[in-house]
Chain A
Amino acid sequence: MIDPRDRRTVLAAVRAGHLGPTVMRSTDLGKTWKEAAKPPAFPKAPEGEAGESVHHVFWLTPGHARNPGRWYAGTSPQALFQSDDAGVTWQGVAGFNEHPMRDKWINKGEEGPPDGATLHSINVDPFDPRHLVIGMSMGGVFESRDEGKSWKPLNRGVEANFLPDPEAEYGHDPHCVRVSAAAPGVVYQQNHCGIYRLDRKADRWTRIGDNMPKAVGDIGFPMVLHPRDPNTLWVFPMDGTTVWPRVPIGGKPAAFRSRDAGNSWKRLDQGLPKGQGWFTVKRQSMMADALDPVGLYFGTTGGEVWASFDEGDNWHCVVQHLPEIYAVETALVA
């Protein structure tokens, strides 16, 4: 993740199999790297009590432009960490990690998403640096209005067909939550149970995925927002039926775009494989740039990067033969 405030600092979450989790830092656009002096870690538990250990850092988000040096990190087990020195040292965000409800909000069980239950989708509201929105797979969406000191669930209207209570306050499974930079109070999410929009003047999500073609459905992982138009967004549907194969429906990959806040959708598959395309696009692996027209990029579990330079109308494979791609980010560096 590159820091848009200085366009030189790059942070990467690393978990070497043998050596545990850490955060690596580069201040020269990736030419050289140094490990964080104090990576995200839980406090040592009192003698005789079981403590938590960070398994991996899953998500990194730069802070607001008004807070230079501020970064946030989300981990598995689900917890929120903060750095105020550009990622050199990290501290737990006590308002979340020590919240009396955290044990109920997070998923501590063995069952969970592949690679563990994660705290992801850390959004710093571009219009209000004190307003934070996060997502937790097997947990739900949560919001803070005071820079992380206090938190509330934000899941009304979202289906959770794996929970007994249809109006559960938390326990939902957002895959990717994005706060719009184009207009205040506009939030979208791709959830395990559909695609949703929230106008933050209200507190109930609307399932805009119901407007997707029924044969495609509205299950997927990424959620991509237009940098200047709050009504334009892109998703990349996956087969979420029965056994959840997590691949394009029928092996025919396609992005879908809405230009009217999810009321209608257009299939975008020009240039993509017409069949036998069985890759997955993970929640951090599809991004937009800030150019006009907007460029879109997605990485696949098969190690390919695809790009569109016309807002999704046409796609080109621009990189092949990489390992499985977990995240794609865009940045203007000059």
Chain B
Amino acid sequence: MKVVLPSPLVSYTAGRREVQAAGATLAEVLADLDRQFPGIRFRMIDEQDAIRQHIRIFVNREPAPGLAAALASTDEVLIIAALSGG
């Protein structure tokens, strides 16, 4: 499925904003992303599997309910680095 990344993460993907990843859940998609682009998952998800404070993840433009959310191969995952500060 298509995964759209925010600009702070494109240093892991050689500049690509859109990448492909596979998995039946959001957790599996993030694990696949990390296999392809080592280190990228820890920038979004901390060691306790919590989504980092300023990261938002949407599936088909709806907020993802959690890492266990089931996904279909036609879904689109949108990852956003939320604005912080002034």
Q: Which residues of A contact B (CB under 8 A)?
A: 16-20, 22, 35, 37, 39, 41-45, 50-54
Contact = CB atoms under 8 A, between A and B. Distances in A.
Contact of B47 (A18, A19, A37, A51): A51
A43 B38 contact: no
B52 interface: yes
B66 to A, nearest CB: 14
B4 interface: no
B14 interface: no
Given A43-B47, A44-B49, A51-B47, A19 B8 contact: yes
Interface in B39-86: 39, 42-44, 46-50, 52, 54-55, 81-82, 84-85
A44 B49 CA distance: 8
13 contacts: A18-B52, A19-B43, A19-B44, A20-B52, A22-B42, A22-B43, A37-B38, A37-B39, A42-B47, A42-B48, A44-B47, A44-B49, A51-B47
With most chain A CB atoms within 10 A of its CB, the pick from B44, B47, B55 is B47
B85 A17 contact: yes
A17 B84 contact: yes
A41 B39 contact: no
Contacts of B50: 53
Contacts, number: 51
Contacts of B84: 17-18
A17 to B, nearest CB: 5
Contacts of A41: 42, 46-47
B81 A18 contact: yes
B9 interface: yes
B47 A17 contact: no
A76 to B, nearest CB: 14
A167 B54 CA distance: 43
Given A35-B39, A37-B39, A41-B42, A18 B82 contact: yes
Nearest to A39: B42
Tell me which of A18, A22, A51 has the highest count of chain B C-beta atoms within 10 A of its own C-beta.
A18
A14 to B, nearest CB: 11
Interface of B: 6, 8-9, 38-39, 42-44, 46-50, 52, 54-55, 81-82, 84-85
Which of A19, A44, A52: most chain B CB closer than 10 A? A19
Contacts of A51: 47-48
A53 B46 contact: yes
A19 B46 contact: no
Contacts of B39: 22, 35, 37
A45 B46 CA distance: 12
**The 10 nearest A-B residue pairs measured at CB:** A41-B47, A18-B81, A19-B43, A53-B46, A51-B48, A18-B54, A20-B52, A42-B47, A18-B8, A53-B48
A45 B49 CA distance: 10
A16 B47 CA distance: 16
A18 B55 contact: yes
B4 to A, nearest CB: 16
Contacts of B49: 44
B9 to A, nearest CB: 7
A37 B6 CA distance: 21
Contacts of A50: 48
B48 A20 contact: no
Nearest to A40: B47
Given A17-B85, A22-B42, 18 more contacts: A18-B6, A18-B52, A18-B55, A19-B9, A19-B43, A19-B52, A19-B55, A20-B42, A20-B52, A22-B43, A39-B42, A42-B47, A42-B48, A44-B48, A50-B48, A51-B48, A54-B46, A54-B47
